A and B are shown apart, each in its own frame.
Chain A
Amino acid sequence: MSSIRETSSAPGLALFAAAIVAAPFLLPDYYQSVLIVAGLFAILSMGLNLLMGYAGQISLGHAAFYGLSAYASGILTTTFHWPVPAGIAAGVVLSGVTAALIGIPTLKLKGHYLAMGTLGFGVIVYIVFNEAVALTAGPSGLTGIPRLSAFGKIFSTDREYYFVVWGTVFLLFVLARNLVRSRMGRALRAIHTSESAASVLGIDVARYKAFVFVLSAVYAGIAGALYAHFVTFISPGSFSFHASTQVVTMVVLGGMASLWGAVAGAVFLTVLPEWLRAIEDYDILVYGAILVLTMRFLPGGLAEGVERVLSALASIFRGKAKASGGEGKKP
């Protein structure tokens, strides 16, 4: 659907990188922490978009993978005094392995049933966070998690952390982009349309579904661990069903099967509530209205909106049709 996916290449990426580098210098300091959170959600929604937008498998339990990694890394570095990079690696591995164990039986389900299955998993993990008090400190939350440090350097300021997070976003973006353009990306999109047609072409449907599920959980795990070492305090509330639906909303609002859309959706839905603070009490109404209107007029999400603007521009400046999708991210 999205021709952004087809046309955006090196110039788009360069623009993206430039925007990442420039943003903290152009925006008020306060926005750095907002953008860090946006970046974490961008990682989450890119991962979910691989699963949902490309392979067509719904997960309503993605916050569980986000939380598992955050807790694993948080507990290992705080209670057991592991170095932070080791904690992060362990958290990401835990998310991935859990996804493999959950995914193999769950991915046999389709549509609503898969949504219910993953939702159930998310609820179970949320309850474990609350009840395993000895390990997770329960509802009152785990405190005193160390900030990210690696190679003797502590990333203590928001600006440093911003670059860690958005650098990760950029790397994971390039990885996902190469993946969806490869033979494997075509296979995932084929599974989305018709599993039986995909399998008579020689695609091992079950294996690919499991693979993309694990990959998207790894993305969620990376985001979760980075989150834990950014806020230094985690509680179950951040990983509830609400967080799962929020990521789904970002993917859908940004644009299914568009990586730019995933990033745009995450940034937009993180920054929007900040703007709406000004009209406190009514903010949730406006927030809801914006969601409804976007989906009404841009069913393909923000990616589709940008694409329309670009093609309008392209028809104005004839010959400049090779416009890139770089504006997909607007901090």
Chain B
Amino acid sequence: MLRVKNLQVHYGMIHALRSVSVHVKEKEIVALIGGNGAGKTSLLTAVSGLIRTTSGEVALDGSDVTKEKADRIVRKGIAHVPEGRHVFKPLSVEDNLLLGAYHRFTWRTASVIRGEIERVYALFPVLGERRKQPAGTLSGGEQQMLVIGRALLSHPKVLLLDEPSMGLAPKVIREIFEHVARLRAERGMTILLVEQNARAALSIADRGYVLETGRVVLQGSSEELLANRDVQRAYLGRDAER
């Protein structure tokens, strides 16, 4: 469904991604793990068109979207939930969700979109309770639910999730990951997930890639990665000797 081939990204002199190739199949959850500065977020922002790539190719359903601008790429079916949540704080929860359906909002589709928003409220009941509240007053976990709901309203084929666990309490993280797993189970969503919290990410993912200094150094099924000694030592906080 999503195929990234030999992608290179530079920030000025800094070589952030060195020929990275990643693919996500339909209805698959794929985790990208790695330390700070490994290039995880760069990869997502390059796929969604927020930053320019130096070379390489991003293809969705076989069609090349590498050179498209970010606002065109959403229309093709890639929804990016950026790191740090980026809710529109002064706007109400409902307006935030309406913005998710921005690119297909007309007076004719308005009632359909209202229905879809109700479905998001069914998925995340706490958002429904707070629909009129400014999004900035929500807790971190609720904001994370809001941005996921907002992304769903763009009718994505692929959902890019960047660090959904960032700054959240362990209990809330578990809740968010359960929601992500349910998105695939119930809606057949295809998800590319970037996480620092490697264990949580691999626990719901089918496959994973390990990024280090802009390169894919390891890839495999979640079970393989969880069992891998290097991964355990570097990302799962378990001493390999034990």
Given A196-B50, A197-B82: A202 and B102 interface contact (C-beta under 8 Å): yes
Once the chains bind, are B99 and A186 in contact (CB under 8 Å)?
yes
Bound together, the chains give a CA A205 to CA B49 distance in angstroms of 13
Q: Which of A183, A196, A201, A205 contacts B154 (CB 8 A)?
A: A201
| Inter-chain contacts of A200 with B (CB < 8 A) | 48, 50, 70, 74, 79-80, 82
Q: How far does the alpha carbon of A190 sit from the alpha carbon of B102 in the complex, in Å?
A: 11
One of A1, A183, A196 near B82 (C-beta < 8 A): A196
Known A-B contacts A197-B88, A200-B50, A203-B71; the reply to A190 vs B79 at CB < 8 A is no
Assembly CA distance A193 to B88 (angstroms): 6
Residue of A193, A201, A205 near B89 (CB, 8 A) is A193
Q: List 19 A-B contacts (CB under 8 A).
A: A186-B91, A186-B95, A186-B102, A189-B88, A190-B91, A193-B87, A194-B88, A197-B86, A198-B99, A199-B49, A199-B50, A200-B70, A200-B74, A200-B82, A201-B74, A201-B154, A202-B75, A203-B103, A205-B71
**Which of A197, A204, A257 has the most chain B CB atoms closer than 10 A to its own CB?**
A197
Say yes or no for A187: interface residue by CB 8 A criterion.
Answer: yes
Inter-chain contacts of A197 with B (CB < 8 A): 82, 86-88
Q: Number of contacts between A and B (CB, 8 Å)?
A: 72
Instruction: Please name the 4 residue pairs, one residue from A and one from B, whose CB atoms are nearest each other, closest first.
Output: A202-B103, A197-B86, A202-B74, A199-B70
Residue interface mask A139-177, B partner, CB < 8 A = 1: 000000000000000000000000000000000000000
B98 at the interface (CB under 8 A from A): yes
For residue B99, which residues in chain A have a CB less than 8 angstroms away from its CB?
Answer: 186-187, 190, 198, 201, 203
- B residues less than 8 Å from A189 (CB atoms): 88, 90-91, 95
In the assembled complex, how far is the CB of residue A322 from the closest CB belonging to chain B, in whole angstroms?
15
Task: Write out the residue numbers on chain A whose beta carbons fall within 8 Å of the beta carbon of B89.
Answer: 193
> Are B86 and A194 in contact, CB atoms less than 8 angstroms apart?
yes
A201 with B91: CB separation less than 8 A: no
Contact A201 B103, beta carbon cutoff 8 Å: yes
- List A contacts of B103 (CB < 8 A): 201-203
Q: Tell me, in angstroms, the Cα distance from A199 to B49 when the chains sit together.
A: 9
Return the chain A residue nearest B88 by Cβ.
A193
B134 at the interface (CB under 8 A from A): yes
A41 CB, min distance to chain B CBs, angstroms = 26
Chain A residues, Cβ within 8 Å of B177: none
Which of A193, A196, A202, A205 sits near B91, CB closer than 8 Å?
A: A193
Q: How far is the CA of A187 from the CA of B91 in the complex (A)?
A: 11
B-side interface size class: 20 to 34
Residues of B within 8 A of A203 (CB): 71, 99, 102-103
Interface assignment of B105: CB less than 8 Å from any CB of chain A: yes
Distance from A264 Cβ to chain B, minimum over Cβ atoms (Å): 20
- B79: A residues at CB distance < 8 A: 200
Smallest Cβ distance from B22 to chain A, in angstroms? 19
Write the chain A residue with the least CB distance to B136.
A193
Query: A26–B8 Cα gap in the complex (Å)?
Result: 70
B contact residues around A1 at 8 Å (CB):
90, 134
Question: Of B70, B79, B82, B100, which is in contact with the most chain A CB atoms at under 10 Å from its CB?
Answer: B70
Q: Which of B79, B82, B99 has the most CB of A within 10 A?
A: B99
Given contacts A1-B134, A190-B88, A200-B48, 14 further A-B contacts (CB under 8 A): A183-B105, A186-B98, A186-B102, A193-B89, A194-B86, A194-B88, A196-B50, A196-B86, A199-B71, A200-B50, A201-B74, A201-B103, A202-B75, A257-B90
B69 part of interface (Cβ distance < 8 Å): yes
Task: Give every chain A residue within 8 A of B48 (Cβ-Cβ).
Answer: 200
B150 an interface residue at 8 Å Cβ cutoff? yes
Residues in A neighbouring B71, C-beta threshold 8 A: 199, 201-205
State the CA gap A118–B140 with chains docked (Å): 37
CA distance A257 to B134 in the complex (A): 15
* Bound Cα distance A202, B156 (Å): 12
Q: Closest B residue to A2 by CB, please name it.
A: B90
Which residues of A250-298 are within 8 A (CB) of B?
257
Residues on A with C-beta less than 8 A from B91 are: 186, 189-190, 193
Q: Mark B64-88, 1 if CB is under 8 A from A, else 0.
A: 0000011100110001101000111
Interface string of B88-130 (1 = CB under 8 A from A): 1111000100111011010000000000000000000000000
Interface centre among B49, B80, B102 (most CB of A within 10 A): B102
Q: Are A201 and B102 in contact (CB under 8 A)?
A: yes
Q: A183–B48 Cα gap in the complex (Å)? A: 22
By beta carbon, the residue of chain B nearest A200 is B80
Closest residue on chain A to residue B92 by CB atoms: A6
B35-67 Cβ-contact flags toward A at 8 Å (1 or 0): 000000000000011100000000000000000
